[in-house]
Each structure stands twice: as C-alpha cells, then as structure tokens.
Structure 1
Amino acid sequence: MKNKLQISCNRQNLKNVREFIARSLDGTKLSGVEINSLVLAVDEVCANVIIHSNKCNENEKLEVFTELKENEVIFEVIDNGRGYDLRKHEAPNLKEIVKSKRKGGVGLLLVQKIMDEIDFIPYNKGHIIRLIKHI
C-alpha cells in the first residue's frame, strides 16, 4: 500500500509529516520504538530538505510517500530544491559537537544509523531521497 502527503516547505509542517508517517506505519508488525525511529529519520530528511534545499520557501512543495511491503518499508521524499546527496555526507565529530555544546549536526548520522538503504535519485527538476528499512 502506498500513501502520499504533500506539504509546503515550512518547518511548521514537519508535525504533519511525523503524524503521516506514524499513521502509515500503524498496524504493521513494527514495534513502537521502531516506528518512532522511522518517524525521526523521515522527519530529519524532510527538515533538511525544507531548510537547506528549499530555504523554507513556502511556495515550494515537498511530497512524502510511504510504501509498505512484506519485508520492507519504503519512504520517498520528493522536491525541486537544489538537493543534497546524503550518501556523500561525512559523519560529524561527536566529541567536537559535545565539547562546543553546538546544537544540531547529528540528524543525518541518525538517518544513516536507522535506515538500511538511502538512495539519492535525480528527478525532473529536483530529486528523490529514498529511504528503505528492512522489516
């Protein structure tokens, strides 16, 4: 089963993304902890797309798809922003982040730890970020 959500690129809409992902996973064999982890991962990707790729431009749209299969869950985040290839992201120095008391900077590391596969696909004028979790 495939579900879709479309939002404008405003950080306030991230709540809608989290609720959409949680609803999409409701009734699956995933535990509450696993569902929360997946919600966190998709939320982080969407936040990065909204903030960094689309500069919080509410005229830009973001689409989120979920697809439930027997052995995996697929999430796709589609937008027309300038893009960022998650596969090329270098892990932050956690000691430096803690030492400097800096907020942020570890979200993509969490996504990489939570998801089993991350694909970055050029699409029309934008890109698709595909996240896959084997279940």
Structure 2
Amino acid sequence: MTRHLRIQCSRQNLQQVRDFVRDFLLAAHGNEVLVNQVVLAVDEVVANFIIHANEEDASQYLDLLMQLRDHNLDVEIEDHSNTLFLPSNVAPSPDMSEYIRQGRKGGMGMALVSRIMDKVVFFERNSHTICHLTKQLG
C-alpha cells in the first residue's frame, strides 16, 4: 500500500499531515498506540522542515510518501526548497534532569522521533533534503 501527499510549508497544514498519516495507518494497522506514535514522529519531522528549513514559506512545499509492505512502514519526506536541511541522523538523548533544571523548552523532538521510529536518516537527493523513517509494525 502506498500513498502520497504534497503540502505547502505552512503550520496550518500540520493537521492535514496528522490526518493523512493516521488514516493511512488505521486502514492497515489497528493498534491505536502505535498509530499515534508514528503520527507524532512524522508530525515532528514535517514541523521541523516547515519551521526551521523553510521559515514557514508557503511558496515552498513538502512531499510525503508512505509505503507499507509486509508490516514494514517506510515514510519519506522530501523538502523541495533550495536549502539543504541535514540535521544529525542520531539525535542525542538529553539529560532530562539538566533539561528541566535549565527550564528549557523545545529541542526534544528529534530525540523523540529517534525513540519512536526504528530508523531515521536525513540525506540529500537531487539537491533536496530527504528524511526517511522506518518502522516495523507488529
């Protein structure tokens, strides 16, 4: 099963992304907890592309490709902007007590994505940034 979605780089489209991922996974996999985890992970990556890579420029767009084969989920998010956005493929696990002590907010998203998904890889293809997420479902 494969589905594709294209969105403009606006925070207003994050709900559309969450609905797209949820609908795709619920059609194929009934575990609501797992579905919500993957929705959260994809939402975080897409939000990072929209906010940090594209500065919420609605003239830019992202493509999401979701494929499910034999309980293996592959999600590919492609940023079509002219700027490469290649964060580290390994998000550090933050020291939570220090994080709380400092009163920090934000910056936990990619660590969470790395914990939810089995594999998270950022790379460049045809001058575009790609994030590939993999998850074994059941």
Structure-1-length-normalised TM-score: 0.92
> What are the superposed Cα offsets for residues 81-127 of structure 1, whole Å, 9 maximum, x if unpaired?
42123414333332222123222111111100000111222111212
Question: Structure 1: which 5+ runs fail to align?
Answer: none
Q: Could you say which residue in structure 2 is the equivalent of 1:127?
A: 129
Structure 2 letter corresponding to 1:12: Q
Q: Could you say which residue in structure 2 is the equivalent of 1:60?
A: 60
Task: Check conservation: 2:4, 2:64, Cα contact below 8 A.
Answer: yes
Structure 2 letter corresponding to 1:42: V
3-state SS of paired residue (2:28):
coil
- Aligned residue pairs: how many? 135
Structure 1 letter corresponding to 2:4: K
Task: Check conservation: 1:86, 1:108, Cα contact below 8 A.
Answer: no
Structure 1 letter corresponding to 2:127: K
Q: Could you say which residue in structure 2 is the equivalent of 1:24?
A: 24
Bigger Cα displacement from structure 2, 2-11 vs 100-109: 100-109
Distance 1:112 1:89 in 2: 7
Question: Structure 2: which 5+ runs fail to align?
Answer: none
Task: Check conservation: 1:121, 1:129, Cα contact below 8 A.
Answer: yes
Structure-2-length-normalised TM-score: 0.90
Q: CA RMSD in A?
A: 1.4
> What are the superposed Cα offsets for residues 62-92 of structure 1, whole Å, 9 maximum, x if unpaired?
1111101113111110003421234143333
Counterpart selection for 1:106 from 104, 108, 117: 108
Q: Could you say which residue in structure 1 is the equivalent of 2:96?
A: 94
Q: Could you say which residue in structure 1 is the equivalent of 2:44?
A: 44
3-state SS of paired residue (2:89):
helix
Judged with a 3 Å threshold, the aligned counterparts in structure 2 of structure 1 residues 37 and 88 are, in CA distance, closer, same or farther, namely closer
> What are the superposed Cα offsets for residues 12-50 of structure 1, whole Å, 9 maximum, x if unpaired?
111110000001111323410000000000000001111
